[in-house]
């Protein structure tokens, strides 16, 4: 970790609290005098913003393979334009979703070739991996209740049938079962609790990096 930044991803199904935790972490880490970049997939870059609109509002017109490739295009631009420069500047990057989301959603959820997704992700990301991933585990029933309480227009993913969400949720569980750089958080806990738990882990990792 010497002379480079730290890449942290937050993963989980829609409604699990990823975005809320990402914003809370930014505040807590900045309070500890760390330079923090808050970002997301899809949609961080100007290109990504356009792709996010396509993916969230026009799903019925996009086949499963094209859907994944649009996410991959967003990811390539995201790393080139946002993540790699921030890492080179030694900043802490908090990303609301990264490559694991495509494995869960398009791999397990849509049934696409998981090995192909992983290989394409690695290429799009320049073989850069997250240093730490927080997986917010939450059942879809609770997540859907939260989504409906927002009162926002549902995205194409949020209108998917329950079986799709079960496949995605099971996919996340399989992806993270043996990953050493993954911290599993209980999505039913308050954001304040998750913020404290996640902040401690990030600060420990940052300290271990400076001690090397």
Each residue of 155-198: pLDDT tens digit? Answer: 888 888 889 999 999 999 999 998 999 999 999 999 999 999 99
- Is 70 exceeded by the pLDDT of residue 60? no
Tens digit of each residue's pLDDT (9 = 90 or more) over 8-54: 999 999 999 999 999 999 999 999 999 999 999 999 999 999 999 88
Residue 107 corresponds to which tokens in the numbers above? 């791999």
Domain annotation covers residue 138: yes
User: Is there a domain that residue 1 lies in?
Assistant: no
Confidence of residue 109 (pLDDT cuts 50, 70, 90): very high
pLDDT at 158: 84
- Residue 133: strand pairing partners: 9, 182
Q: Specify the number of domains making up the chain.
A: 1
pLDDT interval class at 210 (50, 70, 90): low
Q: Which 3-state string (H, E, C) describes the chain? A: CCCCCEEEEEECCCCCCHHHHHHHHHHHHHHCCCCEEEEECCCCCHHHHHHHHHHHHCHHHCCHHHHHHHHHHHHHHHHHHHHHHHHHCCCEEEEECCHHHHHHHHHHHCCCCHHHHHHHHHHHCCCCCCCEEEEEECCHHHHHHHHHHHCCCCCCCCCCCHHHHHHHHHHHHHHHCCCCCEEEEECCCCHHHHHHHHHHHHHHHHHHHHHC
Predicted confidence (pLDDT) per residue in 116-162, tens digit: 999 999 999 999 999 999 999 999 889 888 988 887 788 888 888 88
CA angle 94, 98, 102 (to 5 degrees): 160
- pLDDT score for 46: 95
Question: Confidence class of residue 3 from pLDDT cuts 50, 70 and 90?
Answer: very low
Q: How many CA atoms lie within 13 A of 146 on its CB side?
A: 16
Comparing 144 with 93, the larger pLDDT belongs to: 93
Residue 131 lies in a domain: yes
Report residue 151: phi and psi, to 5°: 75, 15
Residue 45: which domain range?
6-211
Specify if 100 maps to a domain: yes
Which distant-in-sequence residues (6+ apart) come within 8 Å of 107 by Cβ? 113, 114, 117, 171
pLDDT at 211: 57
CA–CA gap between residue 81 and residue 88 (Å, rounded): 12
Distance (Å, rounded) from C-alpha 80 to C-alpha 2? 21
**pLDDT in the model for residue 208:** 85
CATH of the domain at 202: 3.40.50.300
């Amino acid at each position: 970790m010497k002379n480079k930044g730290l890449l942290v991803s937050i993963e989980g199904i829609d409604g699990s609290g990823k975005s809320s935790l990402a914003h809370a972490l930014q505040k807590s880490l900045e309070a500890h005098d760390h330079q923090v970049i808050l970002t997301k997939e899809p949609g961080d870059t100007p290109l990504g913003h356009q792709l996010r609109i396509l993916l969230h509002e026009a799903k019925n017109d996009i086949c499963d393979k094209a859907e994944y490739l649009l996410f991959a295009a967003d990811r390539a631009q995201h790393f080139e334009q946002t993540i790699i420069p921030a890492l080179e500047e030694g900043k802490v990057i908090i990303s609301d979703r990264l490559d694991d989301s495509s494995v869960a959603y398009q791999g397990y959820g849509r049934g696409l070739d998981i090995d192909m997704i992983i290989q394409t992700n690695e290429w799009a990301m320049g073989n850069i991996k997250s240093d730490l991933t927080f997986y917010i585990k939450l059942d879809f029933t609770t997540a859907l209740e939260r989504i409906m309480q927002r009162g926002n227009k549902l995205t194409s993913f949020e209108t998917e049938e329950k079986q799709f969400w079960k496949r995605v949720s099971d996919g996340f569980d399989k992806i993270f079962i043996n990953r050493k750089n993954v911290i599993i958080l209980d999505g039913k806990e308050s954001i304040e609790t998750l913020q404290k738990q996640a902040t401690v882990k990030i600060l420990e990792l940052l300290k271990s990096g400076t001690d090397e």
